[in-house]
Structure 1
């Protein structure tokens, strides 16, 4: 990487180098286990001119998202998060039968199903053929396409301008951030609203959430860098909410610049927090790599000690972030014989790079392991409740991030 993809600067400084890993959602079918597996460098840098943190665009969105293993609806807490958002957005913006809502990267319709239920006209724009088909089967109108200025203009010409454009957990996934932002502007009405949810770089740094660095995530935002990114497409940030999702996320409320007005107080408050954390100078990033190394050492020490003591450890969940963690730590089936996942698409497959089998969740109760390593740590509250049955045989849950913690669960 020689230039910042947002401002074009060459002033890029290393934040953390995680080596080379396969794409995090490229789960392997059994017949592919003896085939070569490509890996790509995973090196996060920050631009010291606009402060956008980014990795090189070594794989294309087309390679990742045309066929995709992640279905949002398998997380009950995420579906509930979407329901509450739709309810609140409808009240905030006065959405009704005459309104039009577009969600970009709408996945399997986990969010727009709630818009459909309210009788509001909507459209999903989803590049993955398989999850888009699931959305249509669930009654959510879905266009299979990547968002670009041209796609946005075509949707607007056919369906009219959108009163609300939703872009949840996609703004980090697009290497052409300027073109994508122009696509958002093309979709939204001149007096409409754009809502973007994206992980907050502040919590990623503060809470050691380095496993959310993977090849699908091309950039990592602060409010300061998001303001500049949105402006590149003619959008102005007017409000921000801090969310607990994904370990700490931003909900950015933006409008076309001609309708935006002055930003609300919360924007200034979060900018001040980021500045206090040193994220607008290099000092805020210099210790992160050392703290990442400690997460790795602590987890490996726990797994090796458990193996030496004859205790069994299995995994729960097969999220993309888990594959960054497993590959960075060099964890193989000798230390983690399998993990389980609620998504049937992943059953019978193997984690990329580390070749750990992915099995149905029922396997945990059948095997009664001593420890369950929870890979989607961001769903901690939901999964502590889901996995309460582990208490029946004295099993315990292990969370690797922000630091290693072993949890006794109770029914």
Structure 2
């Protein structure tokens, strides 16, 4: 049942074999050139120093259909103590977490005797609602900054990377999980087989694990190439996920389509022999992926042309606006924004500045393009003509937050799936 080998990496740290099934990795999905690490923001004191850029290419395994970044950076180099992503800075994401917790408590009939474990618990954005419900919970978070915030909120957090061994250790300590939560972390795991086996070890016999990942199908349908960056080792479809979980002795028994991150999927997973019935949603999503062509090589090789169209539309729009003497600011400095601006070659000569609600990013420069980042209050002072919304998946929330931009005639640019101006 288990994949016991390791993917082969050559001297340039580029994968030659699939990180799941170890078959040769040759089918290209996207080549975005060279890009810096998306969350390595630059302090002003280092503004004159060079940056390291790495190849950013995604290939798809012909055998198991797992899409994966070819140039692999070490997880400990990406998720460090100075990691700058804090989930609680988005009110939309907080509401998503609250609603999820309420739903799962009811569906699984969780109570004070239950145990909930979250992998990649970040700053406690989700577990705070579990704790409020009086249910024992534990967070696993490898980055010190977000983990410290969660501890201040009274949550128990282990600062470790999740693995099969850690799953076994936690189960032996009495943390066998009735609910194992893994939101937007499966894609961030270099050794995906070890990670999934950890869930197998930690889950109680009838326990449920849920995994939220950006859906490869939606990514391709909406030309969301900007969600490709080095922290995302894998890009998952149901077709690929079923193979991965099956190899670990687990089974996907339900799926949900979500609007988060431009189109995500939530896999509900149990032990292969658990009593949970496989729901019709699984067959429906599998059929949708097949109709789109996720089992055909040509579907992947032809996608690059769609990427170029999205890139050119944004570049042409920004160039035309600058020719007219218009000022352009960016709202948000997410990882997807770093990929987008670097791939499109749009830097500080086009984007005057960016703003972000995260204090950890303010006063720094965006990687590669060197756009300065300020507090959102700077928008009111500068009054830019156009605001490029880089976290476009949160565009409605952002428009509401900075709706006063319309008072000075400010308009919004949404870059994906094709650059458009919105009021």
The TM-score range, normalised by the shorter chain, is: over 0.9
Name the residue aligned to 2:76: 62
Instruction: Provide the C-alpha distance between the structure 2 equivalents of 1:194 and 1:57, rounded to a whole number of angstroms.
Output: 29
Moved over 6 A (4+): none
Name the residue aligned to 1:396: 411
Q: Deviation of residue 45 (structure 1)?
A: 0.7
Q: Deviation of residue 322 (structure 1)?
A: 0.4
Name the residue aligned to 2:323: 308
Instruction: Provide the C-alpha distance between the structure 2 equivalents of 1:290 and 1:376, rounded to a whole number of angstroms.
Output: 23
Instruction: Provide the C-alpha distance between the structure 1 equivalents of 2:33 and 2:50, rounded to a whole number of angstroms.
Output: 18
Name the residue aligned to 1:46: 60
1:106 aligned residue (117, 121, 144): 121
1:255 aligned residue (263, 270, 293): 270
Instruction: Provide the C-alpha distance between the structure 2 equivalents of 1:200 and 1:58, rounded to a whole number of angstroms.
Output: 21
User: CA contact under 8 A between 1:153 and 1:187: conserved in structure 2?
Assistant: yes
Instruction: Provide the C-alpha distance between the structure 1 equivalents of 2:403 and 2:47, rounded to a whole number of angstroms.
Output: 34
Tell me the secondary structure at the aligned position of residue 91 of structure 1: helix
Name the residue aligned to 2:6: none
Name the residue aligned to 2:225: 210
What is the total number of aligned residue pairs between the two structures?
Answer: 408
Tell me the secondary structure at the aligned position of residue 48 of structure 2: coil
Instruction: Provide the C-alpha distance between the structure 2 equivalents of 1:57 and 1:157, rounded to a whole number of angstroms.
Output: 36
Does residue 380 (structure 1) correspond to residue 395 (structure 2)? The answer is: yes
Name the residue aligned to 1:84: 99
Name the residue aligned to 1:23: 37
- 1:97-132 CA-to-partner distances (Å, cap 9, x unmatched) read 111000000000000000000000000000001110
Does residue 151 (structure 1) correspond to residue 152 (structure 2)? The answer is: no
Q: Which runs of 5+ in 2 are unaligned?
A: 1-14
Instruction: Provide the C-alpha distance between the structure 2 equivalents of 1:320 and 1:103, rounded to a whole number of angstroms.
Output: 22
Instruction: Provide the C-alpha distance between the structure 1 equivalents of 2:143 and 2:294, rounded to a whole number of angstroms.
Output: 34
User: CA contact under 8 A between 1:40 and 1:58: conserved in structure 2?
Assistant: no
Name the residue aligned to 1:129: 144
The 5-angstrom pairing of residues 1-400 of structure 1 reads 1-67=15-81, 68-259=83-274, 262-400=277-415
- 1:156-209 CA-to-partner distances (Å, cap 9, x unmatched) read 122331100000000000010000001111221121000000000000000000
Instruction: Provide the C-alpha distance between the structure 2 equivalents of 1:126 and 1:233, rounded to a whole number of angstroms.
Output: 23
The structure-2 alpha-carbon separation of the partners of 1:179 and 1:260, relative to structure 1 and needing over 3 Å to count, comes to farther
Q: Deviation of residue 35 (structure 1)?
A: 2.0
Instruction: Provide the C-alpha distance between the structure 1 equivalents of 2:124 and 2:244, rounded to a whole number of angstroms.
Output: 27
User: CA contact under 8 A between 1:181 and 1:232: conserved in structure 2?
Assistant: no
Q: Which runs of 5+ in 1 are unaligned?
A: none
Tell me the secondary structure at the aligned position of residue 172 of structure 1: helix
Tell me the secondary structure at the aligned position of residue 185 of structure 2: coil
- 1:232-282 CA-to-partner distances (Å, cap 9, x unmatched) read 322110000000000100100000112155421000000000000001111
Instruction: Provide the C-alpha distance between the structure 2 equivalents of 1:162 and 1:52, rounded to a whole number of angstroms.
Output: 27
Q: Deviation of residue 287 (structure 1)?
A: 2.5
Tell me the secondary structure at the aligned position of residue 195 of structure 1: strand
- 226-235 vs 102-111, greater mean Cα deviation: 226-235
Tell me the secondary structure at the aligned position of residue 258 of structure 1: coil
Tell me the secondary structure at the aligned position of residue 346 of structure 1: coil
Q: Deviation of residue 401 (structure 1)?
A: 0.2
Instruction: Provide the C-alpha distance between the structure 1 equivalents of 2:45 and 2:279, rounded to a whole number of angstroms.
Output: 55
Q: Deviation of residue 33 (structure 1)?
A: 1.6
Instruction: Provide the C-alpha distance between the structure 1 equivalents of 2:350 and 2:149, rounded to a whole number of angstroms.
Output: 35
The structure-2 alpha-carbon separation of the partners of 1:278 and 1:260, relative to structure 1 and needing over 3 Å to count, comes to farther
